[in-house]
Amino acid sequence: MNKIQYSKIVEIAVMLFIYNFFAKIAVTIVQKTLPNFYQINTSTWHHLLNSLLKYKIEFISLAIVYLLLWYLFAGIVLFFLRRSWGEKNGNSFIRQLFSYKLHITIFILIVLMVPLVSFGLKIPFAQYFSIPKTFIDMLSSFWINIIFTLVYVALVLLFIKFRHIIYYTIYKNQTLSMAIKTTVEEKMSSGLQLFVRSFVTAVLFGGFSLFILYVIQQLADAFFDITFKRTIANILIVLSTALMYVISAYVLNLYIILLSTHQKHESSQKIAYKSLLFQGAILVLIGMGSTFISGRYFITPRGQYLVIAHKGVSQLSAEPNSVNSLKNTIATKPDYIEIDIQPTKDGVYVLTHNTKVTTVSGKNIDISKTNWSDLKSKKIEEAGHQFYLSSFSKYLAVANKNKQKLLIELKLNDTATNKQLQQFVNNYGHQMVKNHSQIQSMNQNVVKRLHMYTNLTTGLLSPVKNNINRSKVSQFYAIEYSKVDAGLSNKINHYNKNLYSWTVNDKFDIETAYMLGVYGVITDKPKETREILQNVRKNMSYHRAFISMVFSQQNDI
């Protein structure tokens, strides 16, 4: 890499970090003015609307902040575009910034970058739309992956083919139809060659660099004590974060080059040693800042842990949320069995994850609109299994007989009145107290109101980070695994509460969760998970967790 190109990539990396840092501060400040989710009254649609209107200024302020951040990022992209075009007329900058064609082009960039954010890239806004790893694992299959890859490649090819539209419309002031006609007539071979060459370079450079860091951590795990192992691992996370900023800058630079109609031949001047050292130090500082602000570093584990069987299964192939699977799951000796329950039309709670189920005859049934007397005779089909739904009371009775504790997710997708919640406690409270059950829900206002009627341990369930506070409503926080970090863990521990993470099945991720201070591991493989946790507790090694931290733990800086 020549001096000019390397310096440009470092410049873009610095710009990306400053932007991400500023964006995180701005969003955090505005979010602090928003109410906690459990303060949004969901007892009726009327109360829900009133709650939203009560905080309308705060929600509007948040929307304005995101809009300003969008234009700031658009301005950064436009700055580098204009420089690549040789544009020197500063008077046209504002006009170009408000061109919808520029924003469409940037939106396409963000869409293409969303999948890559899962690999640690630091592209603004794409990080906000990153899909939690648990949901990716749920949707992933051979054919879905093939279809997604083909669609993604097709989008990339379309982008390369029509990439110069922005140049002709914004810089050359051509009409959109004329710009499209011009790009159709252009050959895409040069752009395609540049893309393939750059893609291969980024993969080889990134892969080789991470391999070296991985080997260093393996050596540290083999020869040093636990404290030094963890220190080395955190240093390597800093370096890998700096690497991801370099690759992100490289990708953004490629985007800028592709939108230019000609490629400049950069000077082959060698990089001065002092300049290389200075720029390397800047990248390390970026890595340090990102790592410690985001909380993506290892801390001293709690030592204790809970293994929680997700959806009541002992393995991925078992019947989910079914009394038929309960015996086998109990045999794996989980600390808790997690189940999903929701009410039927007549107020009977049944085990099911989905609001609608499909019978073996292909009929769709809405749980909330069907009486239990009709529902219990319907054989349903789910995850390749055919079975009858289990009532919560029967499942709870079997669990109590076997002294098996339950973590109950209360799924109330519509509004729930206080009367309904009180009735739930009246009907099942005695059995749940005997069971030492814990209750969680994504409807956090339900958790708050339910807390008025029971002394059972309640917690907040969320696919994203929550506001952590002293409220007795939430004695634990169940957070999607890829959103968990050391900062979150430390804050929860500070309030003497517990952190659960879901759904953690991979060995690398299980070890990482433990090293991030997670207390409860919600998993589809309770037996294997306990074995992994027992082993890592006795023999801490960080090389696998290092890889998981790089590729699985998502953050916005």
Written in H, E and C, the secondary structure of 319-386 is CCCCHHHHHHHHHCCCCEEEEEEEECCCCCEEECCCCEEEECCCCEEEHHHCCHHHHCCCEEEECCEE
Q: Encode pLDDT of 87-116 as tens digits.
A: 877 788 999 999 999 999 999 999 999 988
- Is the bond preceding residue 503 a cis peptide, omega within 30 degrees? yes
How many residues make up the chain in this entry? 557
C-alpha span between 69 and 107 (Å, rounded): 13
pLDDT of residue 2: 46
Helix, strand counts (H, E) of the chain: 21, 13
HEC per residue, 518-555: CCEEEECCHHHHHHHHHHHHHCCCCHHHHHHHHHHCCC
Q: Helix (H, G, I), strand (E, B), or coil: what is residue 461?
A: strand
- Total Cβ atoms within 10 A of residue 24: 17
Residue that has been written with the tokens 């814990």 in this structure: 438
CB atoms closer than 10 angstroms to residue 419: 9
Type of residue found at 439: I
CA separation for the pair 214, 429 (Å, rounded): 50
In the chain the domains, ranked by start, together with CATH numbers, are: 3-294 (no CATH), 306-541 (3.20.20.190)
- Percent of the chain scoring above 70 in pLDDT: 94
Are the beta carbons of 233 and 298 closer than 8 angstroms?
A: yes
Cβ neighbours around 316 below 10 Å, total? 12
pLDDT at 384: 83
pLDDT, tens digit (0-9, with 9 covering 90-100), for 251-303: 999 999 999 876 555 555 566 777 888 999 999 999 999 999 999 999 999 98
In terms of C-beta density within 10 A (0-12 exposed, 13-18 middle, 19 or more buried), how is residue 60 classed?
Answer: exposed
Beta-carbon contacts of residue 175 (< 8 Å; ≥ 6 apart): 169
Residue in 557, 445, 519, 554 with CA at minimum distance from that of residue 133: 554
pLDDT < 70 positions in the chain: 1-4, 36-48, 262-271, 413-415
3-class secondary-structure state, position 231: helix
Q: Which of 492, 496, 503 is nearest to 299 (CA)?
A: 492
Q: 423: exposed, middle or buried (C-beta count within 10 Å: 0-12, 13-18, 19+)? A: middle
- Give, in order, the Cα–Cα distances in Å from 153 to each of 111, 157, 352: 13, 6, 37
How buried is residue 141: exposed, middle or buried, by Cβ count under 10 Å (0-12/13-18/19+)? exposed
Residues whose CB is less than 8 angstroms from the CB of residue 51 and which lie 6 or more positions away in sequence, other chains included = 35, 39, 40, 41
N- to C-terminal Cα separation, the chain: 26
Give CA 372 to chain center in angstroms.
36
